[in-house]
Chain A
Amino acid sequence: SQQGEEDPQALSIQEGENATMNCSYKTSINNLQWYRQNSGRGLVHLILIRSNEREKHSGRLRVTLDTSKKSSSLLITASRAADTASYFCATDANNAGNMLTFGGGTRLMVKP
């Protein structure tokens, strides 16, 4: 069973525009993480937000977390063609030890 589900499944934007991806989850969590995957490669960690945090920034990335709605969003500002990738949220649920559960991902295409 997948804890997290991303929305939209696919997103296509022009370079310079902002990209917003959403993640919803089902059970209470310790933290939520966002990862990026280039085609055919492993995942790279982008940002971790703890359950007691509401917003976090890292460069052009902004992550929000709403535990009351069990949802998170990832905003990439001023997108570049190099941001083209799949983006996944992952949760570390309170009742699942250290098990990380991933959503289905959002496939982002940034057109030059």
Chain B
Amino acid sequence: DGGITQSPKYLFRKEGQNVTLSCEQNLNHDAMYWYRQDPGQGLRLIYYSQIVNDFQKGDIAEGYSVSREKKESFPLTVTSAQKNPTAFYLCASSMGGWMNTEAFFGQGTRLTVV
């Protein structure tokens, strides 16, 4: 089955630690995205990548880092510089190209600072 998979589903981080959230897709999509969602709120773009080895900052990139070494994978690292990381993180992918940008989402990772 084709799809986009995020892991883990729940993640706990101690203050001062870096943690990495995984996102893998087998849809052969060029574009991948990371969004943050706070309770009762919309999605805010952290980073996006249109092609392998290239990525762009979104609206709230501070305290986060990404890599795109493979087309299938777009991991997100939440660094200790992110002061309020507790949130629901969503990864998405799309074919790219301005005519067809329907996005497919993973089921999310809920990160909690303990």
Contacts and interface: CB of A to CB of B under 8 A. Distances in A.
B2 interface: no
Given A99-B58, A100-B33, A102-B43, A43 B92 contact: yes
B63 interface: no
Interface in B68-110: 88, 90, 92, 94, 96-99, 101-108, 110
Nearest to B33: A100
Contact of B105 (A1, A30, A42, A50): A42
Interface string A44-61: 110010100000000000
B108 A42 contact: yes
Interface stretch (A63-71, A72-80, A90-98): A90-98
A103 B42 contact: yes
B90 A43 contact: yes
Interface residues of A, number: 29
A93 to B, nearest CB: 10
Nearest to A1: B59
Interface in A13-63: 30-31, 33, 35, 40-45, 48, 50
Contacts of A41: 107-108
Given A42-B105, A98-B48, A101-B45, A92 B98 contact: yes
A2 interface: yes
Contacts, number: 78
Contacts of B21: none
B64 interface: no
A44 B106 CA distance: 9
A42 B40 CA distance: 14
B50 interface: yes
Interface string B31-53: 10101000011111100101000
Contacts of B105: 35, 42-44
A45 to B, nearest CB: 5
A90 B105 CA distance: 13
Given A33-B103, A97-B56, 19 more contacts: A31-B99, A40-B88, A42-B105, A42-B108, A43-B103, A45-B103, A48-B102, A88-B42, A94-B98, A97-B50, A98-B31, A98-B50, A98-B97, A99-B33, A99-B58, A100-B33, A100-B94, A100-B103, A104-B42
